[in-house]
Structure 1
């Protein structure tokens, strides 16, 4: 895909949604960190349902520690892998209190050192909480980037590096939100909604799907 086509795709996505953000519900960097960590192999809807009860009780590392592993489990037991996630949330809270004064560090290395936090989670926190031009590649972004030929790669790391290379600076902060939402609601995994896609004429996917097909 050439540079002009990518620019037009990004421009249309921006015009359609000028101020995108995550669909996870949060009000502080710590709430975002917890929500993103809980969202691994789970839907944002299921995470939001759990955190609506969890965050009023514990939305700081110290309050989370007071809740304890069993208390966290009770609040997030509707989410997949909740046992491991609860343990990681408590371990991470302890590290944040011990090493970072109870604050979420604006530092990739420090974030990735937290239990249950990988590169994707760190990218989301740095981008959404702190405004960094990072690009978190999940399954939606991986699929959309490869299917449209916008930024192809054999794994999420390759797609991330390609996106960082080809996306102009003015779009970098928001691009991962646009691509996630596009993959979640339009460029679906099994049956993409090509007939209602705002970038359909620019997409280089050869097997487009339309309502009458």
Structure 2
């Protein structure tokens, strides 16, 4: 009798312990994540972070490339003006002097094409009267670079003492991240940055004022 009484509680305790273990395991699976699930979540977050960083870097790289493209074209337009006495009426004449036929400069100025010593733009392609920009620079299809006159920076401190009509290169369409990166390279864009010679038009175009008349 003594052995029977001591053996039975031990068997009962073993069964009770196994039942508690099963219940505890069930609660763990229902209320939390397994190690495999946590690993999957971490990997997904890492992939998303990598993709986001790639997109940010791509926008910054394109904005930087666009900024240098604009500066190079500004220099070409200035060389054209030095040789012919006028800023170009459009971008195509920087590549081909026969493009406009009459050789008209900007705002009706008659460019002296006898002194044309171009091409002033190397390796550029035209889209009508404008320079074509690749989507590797703008992030958008059909981007162009054009020369225009206007008053985008009128009243800005950066225009103090200059002529009333501004001459600028306009690039677009561009993606918002390219626009933001371009403005950072230019030290900000008007109207937010009053000392800048760069400006934005909407969310998909940027401009660079380089002369007045």
- Larger relative contact order, structure 1 or 2 (CA cutoff 8 Å, min sep 6): 1
Bin the TM-score by the shorter chain: under 0.3
With normalisation by structure 1, the TM-score equals 0.24
Answer 1 or 2: which has greater strand percent.
2
With normalisation by structure 2, the TM-score equals 0.24
Answer 1 or 2: which has greater helix percent.
1
